[in-house]
């Protein structure tokens, strides 16, 4: 914040361009930097052998089988990317999403494979129901309603099952009230007191998730998610959601999406200075720049790095982004 009592000279004494004259001067006054350590790489895992299927609405993003993960872990390590966020595509969907908490579920298998390939890799799992349920909603459905409290029990089971498989951290994204405390209790009771929780705390009901729903095969089969995800028009509610998550024991809070919500990221950073803050640069944010780049309308590298630095400048400590590997190379 500009200090209003500060005395600043004006033109012609003040010439901000003096400090922009050379690359090194610009490097010296640069406030924000990006490093591969800032990135969390989201991945979509499916059943099968030797599968690497590009998501049509997300060029450069793949649905991939467990046997491809060893090479993936090696690549991530060589690029200096510390963490992944895992999403699973089950063999079968049902109303409760049973594979979500099955010991041999797709994400559980992926966790083991990645952990074996690189024990240092931070494996974060998305804890939600929509990819696993036949109705595509993030909670238990009864008479067309998404039930809160019965969902909490399932989310707890999913988190414990991921921790048992070797997940480093869990990321609840269902936007159910009380999900952090429910998961914290379930983890603690199962002995996983050291498993951190990254709460998708301020998650908006966003059209920018469109391409993800193809990647994760998770569109809601009726209605939309606006009875649980937040209204894009609100910011006080975001602060309230984050405060609740912190009270319930979240170790890291998140704002999602990122670019249309940079104001929320900034408010979160200023309101909650003690907690690490993550931001999710979501599928639509990625796909729209990819599409424009393909048409030759934008320079992908430039606008991707500009997007990522903006998210950091707004106050995020870490960024979930599909550009993680490309960006690490570009920064390299
Ligand atoms: C829910 C979930 C979603 C995303 C991450 N976790 C989709 C949704 O809420 O509909 C979206 C991520 C993206 O768009 O990149 N499990």
Give the model confidence (pLDDT) of 66-91 as tens digits: 999 999 999 999 999 999 999 999 99
pLDDT at 3 over 80: no
Atom 14 of ligand 1 has which residue's CA nearest to it? 209
From 173, 220, 230, mutation site for ligand 1 pocket: most ligand atoms within 8 A of C-beta: 173
**In the chain, % of residues over pLDDT 70:** 98
Report the number of secondary-structure helices (H) and strands (E) in the chain. 11, 12
- Residues 34-57: what's their mean pLDDT? 98
Atom 16 of ligand 1 has which residue's CA nearest to it? 128
* pLDDT tier, 7 (very low <50, low <70, confident <90, very high otherwise): confident
Q: What is the pLDDT of residue 2?
A: 56
Q: What is the pLDDT of residue 154?
A: 98
Round to whole Å and give the CA distance between 134 and 125: 20
List the beta strands (DSSP E) in 11-113.
39-46, 52-55, 58-65, 83-89
Q: What is the pLDDT of residue 169?
A: 98
**In the chain, % of residues over pLDDT 90:** 97
Helical ranges in the chain per DSSP H: 23-29, 69-79, 106-117, 149-165, 179-189, 210-215, 236-248, 262-271, 283-294, 300-314, 324-331
Give the ligand 1 atom nearest the CA of 282: 15
Q: Which of 53, 112, 256, 325 is catalytic?
A: 256
pLDDT at 148 over 60: yes
Give the model confidence (pLDDT) of 225-263 as tens digits: 999 999 999 999 999 999 999 999 999 999 999 999 999
CA distances from 171 to 71, 84, 155 (A): 24, 11, 10
Alpha carbon of 86 to ligand 1 centroid (Å): 11
Active-site residue 301, yes or no?
A: no
Alpha carbon of 119 to ligand 1 centroid (Å): 27
Average pLDDT, the chain: 97
Q: Which two tokens stand for residue 180?
A: 């952090």
Active-site residue 325, yes or no?
A: no
pLDDT at 36 over 60: yes
pLDDT at 20 over 80: yes
Is the Cβ–Cβ distance between 54 and 12 less than 8 Å?
A: no
Q: What is the pLDDT of residue 123?
A: 98
Q: What is the pLDDT of residue 243?
A: 98
Q: What is the pLDDT of residue 197?
A: 98
Q: What is the pLDDT of residue 252?
A: 98
Q: What is the pLDDT of residue 8?
A: 85
SS3 assignment, position 99: helix
Q: What is the pLDDT of residue 6?
A: 74
Cβ 283 under 6 angstroms from ligand 1: yes
Q: What is the pLDDT of residue 125?
A: 98
* pLDDT tier, 111 (very low <50, low <70, confident <90, very high otherwise): very high
């Amino acid at each position: 914040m500009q200090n209003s009592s500060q005395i600043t000279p004006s033109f012609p004494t003040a010439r901000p361009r003096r400090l922009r004259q050379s690359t090194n001067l610009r490097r010296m006054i640069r406030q924000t930097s990006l490093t591969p350590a800032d990135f969390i790489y989201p991945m979509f895992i499916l059943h099968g052998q030797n599968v690497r299927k590009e998501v049509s609405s997300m060029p450069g993003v793949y649905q991939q089988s467990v046997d491809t993960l060893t090479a993936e872990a090696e690549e991530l390590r060589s690029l200096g990317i510390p963490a992944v966020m895992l999403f699973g595509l089950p063999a079968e969907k049902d109303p409760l999403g049973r594979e979500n908490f099955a010991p041999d579920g797709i994400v559980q298998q992926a966790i083991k494979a990645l952990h074996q390939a690189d024990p240092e890799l931070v494996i974060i799992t998305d804890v939600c129901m929509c990819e696993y349920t036949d109705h595509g909603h993030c909670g238990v459905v009864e008479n067309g309603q998404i039930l809160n409290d019965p969902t909490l029990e399932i989310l707890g089971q999913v988190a414990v099952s991921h921790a048992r498989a070797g997940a480093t951290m869990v990321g609840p994204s269902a936007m159910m009230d009380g999900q952090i405390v429910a998961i914290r209790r379930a983890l603690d009771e199962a002995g996983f007191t050291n498993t951190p929780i990254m709460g998708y705390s301020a998650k908006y009901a966003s059209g920018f998730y469109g391409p993800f729903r193809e990647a994760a095969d998770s569109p809601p089969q009726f209605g939309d998610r606006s009875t649980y995800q937040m209204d894009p028009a609100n910011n006080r509610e975001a602060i309230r959601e984050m405060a609740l998550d912190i009270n319930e024991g979240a170790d890291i809070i998140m704002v999602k999406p990122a670019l249309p919500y940079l104001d929320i990221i900034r408010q979160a950073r200023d309101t909650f200075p003690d907690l690490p803050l993550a931001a999710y640069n979501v599928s639509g944010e990625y796909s729209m720049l990819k599409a424009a780049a393909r048409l030759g309308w934008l320079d992908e590298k430039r606008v991707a790095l500009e997007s990522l630095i903006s998210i950091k400048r707004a106050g995020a400590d870490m960024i979930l982004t599909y550009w993680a590997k490309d960006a690490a190379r570009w920064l390299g």
